[in-house]
């Protein structure tokens, strides 16, 4: 006698994702998938055309958010895919290729050149990536905010972003970053910690929505 195995019920995140697709706010061919990369929480991947998220981020942050805030998060990542650029990926890939070439063939290029590239080329590459990535975060916020305001009649979408920041600061920092990324982040800070992160400050992202979406008369 065969046992009938019931399929697991779709998560609230999955249901909201499908609803946004039906409303044509997210591309109908887009996929929402779990990722094993512990560094990311949630990411709209421009290369794979998928929205990726980790089980840890889902359990610690996403499940604690209300429906409108979850919609905002999904739309933000969709904004990265639809409106984002591959420029930063190209710059990063170029840097990595050159770095590996110099690292594995130092005697061909000379150690001084390798150190020069590490100290000068790396910061320069990061700076070139920094500006478009910084602007893309603000653009993705506006993409989500405008959709929430128009489709779901949320007059103050900046409040949704604030809810996300509050919950992420409360849950994610004390769990995921400590377990997986402490040593990695320490190394990155040593290498280029004197540069600002490409994510704009929380207050900048919130004020950007207030100014360009909530106070807009268009």
- Which two three-digit tokens encode residue 195? 């540069």
What pLDDT does 76 receive?
Answer: 96
- Residues of the chain with confidence (pLDDT) below 50: 1-8, 172, 176-177, 179, 182, 186, 189-190, 192-194
Distances (CA, A) of 107 to 100, 104, 133: 13, 9, 35
Per-residue pLDDT of 154-180, as tens digits, reads 999 999 999 999 887 765 455 544 545
What pLDDT does 118 receive?
Answer: 67
Q: Residue 8's Cα: distance from chain center in Å?
A: 27
Under a CB-based contact definition with an 8 Å cutoff, are residues 184 and 140 in contact?
Answer: no
Under a CB-based contact definition with an 8 Å cutoff, are residues 198 and 130 in contact?
Answer: yes
Let me know how long the chain is: 218
What pLDDT does 125 receive?
Answer: 67
Edge-to-edge strand order for the sheet containing 42-45?
31-34, 50-53, 42-45
Q: Regarding beta strands 50-53 and 42-45, do their DSSP bridges make them parallel or antiparallel, or are they unpaired?
A: antiparallel
What is the Cα–Cα distance from 137 to 121, expressed in whole angstroms?
Answer: 24
């Amino acid at each position: 006698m065969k046992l009938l195995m019931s399929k697991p019920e779709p998560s609230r995140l999955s249901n909201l994702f499908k609803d946004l697709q039906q409303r044509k706010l997210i591309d109908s061919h887009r996929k929402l998938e779990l990722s094993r990369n512990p560094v990311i929480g949630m990411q709209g991947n421009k290369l794979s055309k998928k929205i990726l998220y980790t089980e840890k981020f889902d359990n610690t942050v996403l499940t604690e958010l209300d429906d409108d805030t979850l919609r905002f998060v999904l739309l933000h990542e969709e904004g990265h895919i639809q409106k984002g650029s591959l420029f930063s990926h190209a710059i990063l890939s170029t840097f990595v290729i050159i770095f590996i070439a110099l690292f594995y063939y130092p005697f061909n290029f000379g150690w001084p050149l390798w150190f020069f590239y590490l100290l000068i080329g790396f910061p320069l590459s990061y700076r070139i990536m920094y500006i478009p990535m910084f602007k893309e975060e603000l653009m993705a916020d506006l993409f989500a905010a405008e959709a929430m305001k128009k489709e779901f009649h949320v007059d103050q979408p900046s409040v949704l972003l604030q809810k996300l920041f509050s919950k992420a600061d409360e849950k994610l920092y004390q769990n995921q970053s400590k377990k997986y990324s402490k040593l990695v982040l320490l190394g990155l800070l040593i290498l280029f910690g004197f540069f600002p992160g490409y994510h704009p400050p929380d207050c900048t992202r919130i004020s950007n929505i207030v100014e360009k979406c909530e106070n807009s008369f268009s």
